[in-house]
Structure 1
Amino acid sequence: MPERLRLTKNAQFYRVNDPVEDELVKTILDTASDNMNPDSGFVIDEFRQERSLDEQSLSYVYSARVFPSSRPVYFLDDDFEDKIYAFILIIEIGDYLAVLKKSCANIFDLMDEKFTLVGSKEFSSSFSDDDVEFQRLALRNMTVSDRAMRSRSYEAADLKGLLSTHSAGRSIPYYFKLRQGAKTRSISGTGRVVESSSRETLDNVAEWVYEQINLIESPSNTNFLDAFASKVELSEVLTICSPNAILIESHSLFDRLKKDGVSVKYKTKKGKVIRVSNRVYKHLESALEKVYEIDSDLNIMGVNDGSRVRANKKSLTLYSKYLAKFRVSENGKLITLQKYIVKHGFYSITFEDPKYMYFMGSCFEDSSGISEIDNILEILQPIEEIPAVNSEKGSFTEESENFTEDSMFDVIEKIHAEDDYIFCDDLGDEWADHITFNKENSNICFIHSKHGDPSTSASNLHDVVGQGIKNLGNMYFDANAMLSKLDKTFKDYYKSGKGIQTKIPRIRKGNIDDFDWYLANLLKDYKLNRSCILCCSFLSVSDITGEFNKIKEGKPVRGNIVQLLWIISSFAHAVKDMNARPIIYCIE
Structure 2
Amino acid sequence: MNPVDISNILLNENGYFYKKKKSKIAKSDIEKLFRQCLTDKAANKSYEPMIRASLFESGKEVAKYSVLIFDYQQRPSFMKADAHLWERKTGLFIILEHLDYLAVIRKNVSGAHHLYQIVEEIDYSILTNFMVTDTSKFEKIISSNLNTAENATQTKSAEGIDLKGVMSRFSISKQIINAVRLDNGGEKSSITLNTSRVNSLNIRNDFEPALFWLIKIIKLIDVAYKAPKTNSFVAGFAKPLVFSTEIKTLQPKFLFLRFQSVKDALEAGLISDAFTQDDKGKKNKVDLVAFLDSNSKLFSLTRYDARTYSHGNTSIKLNLNTISFRDPSFQEIQVSFGGPDSVSLQEYINLQQQFIVTFDKPDYAYTHRKIFQDHRLLEDLDIFMDTFIAEPHLAKVTSEKGKTTKTSKIFSARSIFGYLESKYLSTVDCMICDDMGTEWGDHISVKGDEITFYHSKYDKPGLSATKLEVVFGQAQKNLAFIAMTDEMVSKRALRWSSNYSKTSIPRIRKHDGSGMTPIESVKRSIARAAGSGNLQAKVYVVINFLSKSQLSASLAKVKGGETFHDQGVTLQILWFVNSLLASANDIGARFKIICRP
Q: TM-score range by the shorter chain?
A: 0.7 to 0.9
Structure 2 unaligned runs (5+)?
A: 516-520
Alpha-carbon displacement from aligned partner over 1:323-359 (angstroms, at most 9, x marks no partner): 1111111241221010111122231222222232222
Preserved contact between residue 432 and residue 471 of structure 1 (Cα < 8 Å)? no
What's 1:237 paired with?
Answer: 246
Matching residue within 500, 503, 506 for 1:504: 506
Q: Normalising by structure 1, what TM-score?
A: 0.83
Structure 1 position 216 matched with structure 2 position 221: yes
Matching residue within 321, 334, 337 for 1:327: 334
- CA drift at 1:504: 1.1
Give the Cα separation in 2 of the matches to 1:207 and 1:145: 45
Q: 1:88 to 1:424 in 2, by over 3 A?
A: same
Give the Cα separation in 2 of the matches to 1:354 and 1:515: 41
- CA drift at 1:35: 0.4
Give the Cα separation in 1 of the matches to 2:31 and 2:454: 63
Preserved contact between residue 482 and residue 537 of structure 2 (Cα < 8 Å)? no
What amino acid sits opposite 1:383 in the alignment?
E
Q: 1:125 to 1:293 in 2, by over 3 A?
A: same
Matching residue within 465, 477, 481 for 1:467: 477
Give the Cα separation in 2 of the matches to 1:42 and 1:240: 54
- CA drift at 1:528: 8.5
Q: 1:584 to 1:331 in 2, by over 3 A?
A: same
Matching residue within 50, 59, 62 for 1:59: 62
Give the Cα separation in 2 of the matches to 1:173 and 1:377: 28
Q: 1:515 to 1:215 in 2, by over 3 A?
A: same
Give the Cα separation in 2 of the matches to 1:396 and 1:109: 70
Give the Cα separation in 1 of the matches to 2:100 and 2:35: 22
What's 1:290 paired with?
Answer: 298
What's 1:566 paired with?
Answer: 575
What amino acid sits opposite 1:154 in the alignment?
A
Structure 1 position 355 matched with structure 2 position 395: no
What's 1:105 paired with?
Answer: 110
Preserved contact between residue 425 and residue 510 of structure 2 (Cα < 8 Å)? no
Matching residue within 168, 172, 175 for 1:171: 175
Structure 1 position 162 matched with structure 2 position 166: yes
- CA drift at 1:192: 1.0
SS at match of 1:249: coil
Give the Cα separation in 2 of the matches to 1:391 and 1:259: 53
What amino acid sits opposite 1:170 in the alignment?
K
- CA drift at 1:26: 3.8
Q: 1:408 to 1:184 in 2, by over 3 A?
A: same
Matches of residues 296-311 of structure 1 in structure 2 within 5 Å? 297-303=306-312, 305=313, 307-311=314-318
What's 2:354 paired with?
Answer: 346
What's 1:449 paired with?
Answer: 456
Give the Cα separation in 1 of the matches to 2:514 and 2:490: 9
SS at match of 2:12: strand
What amino acid sits opposite 1:169 in the alignment?
S
- CA drift at 1:518: 9.3
Give the Cα separation in 2 of the matches to 1:394 and 1:322: 47
What's 1:264 paired with?
Answer: 274
Matches of residues 416-427 of structure 1 in structure 2 within 5 Å? 416-424=424-432, 426=434
Preserved contact between residue 468 and residue 532 of structure 1 (Cα < 8 Å)? no
CA RMSD of aligned residues (A): 4.0
Structure 1 position 275 matched with structure 2 position 285: yes
Q: 1:364 to 1:555 in 2, by over 3 A?
A: same
SS at match of 2:465: coil
Matches of residues 539-554 of structure 1 in structure 2 within 5 Å? 539-541=546-548, 544-545=551-552, 548-549=555-556, 551-554=558-561
Name whichever of 512-521 and 537-546 sits farther off: 512-521
- CA drift at 1:235: 0.9
What amino acid sits opposite 1:262 in the alignment?
S
Alpha-carbon displacement from aligned partner over 1:271-296 (angstroms, at most 9, x marks no partner): 533113x5x96355312333342526
Give the Cα separation in 1 of the matches to 2:122 and 2:534: 49
Identity of aligned residues (%): 21
Preserved contact between residue 69 and residue 84 of structure 1 (Cα < 8 Å)? yes
- CA drift at 1:269: 4.9
Preserved contact between residue 310 and residue 316 of structure 2 (Cα < 8 Å)? no
What's 2:345 paired with?
Answer: 337
What's 2:197 paired with?
Answer: 192
Matches of residues 118-157 of structure 1 in structure 2 within 5 Å? 118-119=123-124, 121-130=126-135, 132-157=136-161
What's 2:542 paired with?
Answer: 535
- CA drift at 1:576: 3.8
- CA drift at 1:236: 1.4
Matching residue within 244, 248, 255 for 1:246: 255
Q: 1:185 to 1:206 in 2, by over 3 A?
A: same
Give the Cα separation in 2 of the matches to 1:51 and 1:67: 22
Give the Cα separation in 1 of the matches to 2:103 and 2:397: 63
Q: 1:384 to 1:467 in 2, by over 3 A?
A: farther
Alpha-carbon displacement from aligned partner over 1:373-399 (angstroms, at most 9, x marks no partner): 343233123434445656655565554
Preserved contact between residue 405 and residue 411 of structure 1 (Cα < 8 Å)? yes
Alpha-carbon displacement from aligned partner over 1:233-267 (angstroms, at most 9, x marks no partner): 21111123233322221344234334425332113
Give the Cα separation in 1 of the matches to 2:507 and 2:149: 36
Name whichever of 77-86 and 341-350 sits farther off: 77-86
Alpha-carbon displacement from aligned partner over 1:300-328 (angstroms, at most 9, x marks no partner): 4332x3x4323333322222222111111
Preserved contact between residue 69 and residue 93 of structure 2 (Cα < 8 Å)? yes
What amino acid sits opposite 1:199 in the alignment?
R
What's 2:443 paired with?
Answer: 434
Matching residue within 5, 23, 32 for 2:9: 5
Q: 1:492 to 1:170 in 2, by over 3 A?
A: closer
Q: Normalising by structure 2, what TM-score?
A: 0.81
Matching residue within 397, 409, 423 for 2:417: 409
Preserved contact between residue 128 and residue 193 of structure 2 (Cα < 8 Å)? no
- CA drift at 1:118: 4.2
Q: 1:349 to 1:274 in 2, by over 3 A?
A: same
What's 2:206 paired with?
Answer: 201
Q: 1:116 to 1:254 in 2, by over 3 A?
A: closer
- CA drift at 1:148: 3.1
Name whichever of 543-552 and 564-573 sits farther off: 543-552
SS at match of 1:535: strand
What amino acid sits opposite 1:571 in the alignment?
L
Structure 1 unaligned runs (5+)?
A: none
Give the Cα separation in 2 of the matches to 1:229 and 1:460: 27
Alpha-carbon displacement from aligned partner over 1:7-44 (angstroms, at most 9, x marks no partner): 22221212235312314444444444440316x33545
Q: 1:268 to 1:553 in 2, by over 3 A?
A: farther
What amino acid sits opposite 1:535 in the alignment?
V
Give the Cα separation in 2 of the matches to 1:229 and 1:48: 40
Give the Cα separation in 1 of the matches to 2:534 and 2:203: 52
SS at match of 2:170: coil
What's 2:518 paired with?
Answer: none
Q: 1:350 to 1:269 in 2, by over 3 A?
A: farther
Structure 1 position 48 matched with structure 2 position 45: no
What's 1:96 paired with?
Answer: 101
Q: 1:582 to 1:317 in 2, by over 3 A?
A: same
Preserved contact between residue 33 and residue 112 of structure 2 (Cα < 8 Å)? yes
